[in-house]
Chains A and B, each alone.
Chain A
């Protein structure tokens, strides 16, 4: 019972990460749901006292690798995906959309590292063990992710491309 409550407490954080990773809300919640089901089914395998967050995010990573990446094209954004109306007066909303768009132009591998570091404030060691990669890879992906994101954002001036699509 204690165990389930502990997992429950992480749902909002799992949802935040999934949303940023996957983009679309329903797909992100699918990922969370699959993660929760697997975590609860395998809870006896969790080593009590070890980092539950790292364990849950590892499960999410594995679920994502197995299921979502097979349909990778769903998460990649191209010009055609931007059909939602955008209110040009709301600069803040536009900037947020730009950032979200730019984030989804990173590779999934870069995005994972960036989001665990920034949203979850994980140590680089925890990111490495969560994703099952060497710490050097964490650092290089982090560096590349940031630089690519910076380039993308700088390539999107405030009068942004969405205006052109109109």
Chain B
């Protein structure tokens, strides 16, 4: 019995990582016999990556005031909306928002410490209900390759299923110098943890396993082989430590 012929729609779905597992082998066999088609598909994939990269920064821009006004409802008493707008404006490295959110000194050091950056990224993205990540766990290979390429390293995504947390996916966050990868995990109750990974400047050789708390967010963080890792979650210290240990063992075997 022969498999159904490969259609253009199959190839498009292959580009987007949307082919059923049962069909993938057929498509890959087809592509290996057709270098011209393989080249075309590869070009489409890099096209997708380039488009995502080109427009990624828009997500991190401060929302213009007029849009904030446009969405403001006529009814009074919606402070929470304003608060969320402030959260949305957080984006990357900020001053007064940190003050508003965490009640910390607004004079940030030139380089925001790992734990605080991670906590900020956690509170920004973990409440996202439908789109907490840019690339979902269903495209894990793509996720790893993409983020590895952007961070110029070979990333590993720790498995935290044994601790009750499954991978939701990941996203890329802007930072100077060098971007940051954020992986998100979720337990059966929908509680979320994020793992924040960024390269660290050479001078920063600290490798101790440390704990910090920013508002409700606990963060375990460490630096190893030039990369900083931080696991953030709104958990008790001991519960978070258990998961952080599991992540640490896998990332630093």
A residues with CB within 8 A of B:
1, 4-9, 11-13, 15-16, 19-20, 29, 32-33, 36-37, 40, 51-53, 95-96, 99-100, 103, 114-115, 117-119, 121, 123-124, 139, 142-143, 146-147, 149-150, 153
Secondary structure at the A interface, as helix, strand, loop or mixed, is helix
| A143/B8 contact (C-beta < 8 A), A8-B81, A52-B130 known | yes
The one of A1, A13, A29, A115 in contact with B80, judged by C-beta atoms closer than 8 angstroms, is A1
**In the complex, chain A residues whose CB is within 8 Å of the CB of B9:** 139, 143
Secondary structure at the B interface, as helix, strand, loop or mixed, is helix
Inter-chain CA distance A12–B60, complex, in Å, is: 7
Distance of A63 from chain B, by nearest CB (Å): 12
**In the complex, chain B residues whose CB is within 8 Å of the CB of A117:** 16
**In the complex, chain B residues whose CB is within 8 Å of the CB of A149:** 47
- B18 contacts A123, C-beta separation under 8 Å: yes
- B131 contacts A119, C-beta separation under 8 Å: no
| A16/B67 contact (C-beta < 8 A), A118-B51, A146-B44 known | no
14 contacts between A and B (CB under 8 A): A1-B80, A4-B71, A5-B81, A8-B71, A15-B61, A15-B63, A16-B55, A99-B50, A99-B54, A121-B134, A143-B9, A143-B12, A149-B47, A150-B44
Distance of B139 from chain A, by nearest CB (Å): 9
Distance of B225 from chain A, by nearest CB (Å): 28
- B40 contacts A150, C-beta separation under 8 Å: yes
Chain B residues touching A, range? 35 or more
- B47 contacts A150, C-beta separation under 8 Å: yes
| A100/B63 contact (C-beta < 8 A), A123-B18, A143-B8 known | no
Distance of A126 from chain B, by nearest CB (Å): 11
Give the nearest-CB partner of B56 in chain A: A16
Distance of A151 from chain B, by nearest CB (Å): 10
The one of B47, B71, B131, B134 in contact with A153, judged by C-beta atoms closer than 8 angstroms, is B47
Q: Other than the known A13-B131, A139-B12, A143-B9, what 18 A-B pairs have Cβ atoms closer than 8 Å?
A: A1-B78, A4-B73, A5-B84, A8-B88, A9-B84, A9-B127, A11-B67, A11-B71, A12-B59, A13-B59, A29-B66, A36-B71, A51-B130, A99-B50, A143-B12, A150-B43, A150-B44, A153-B47
B208 within 8 A of A: no
- B58 contacts A139, C-beta separation under 8 Å: no
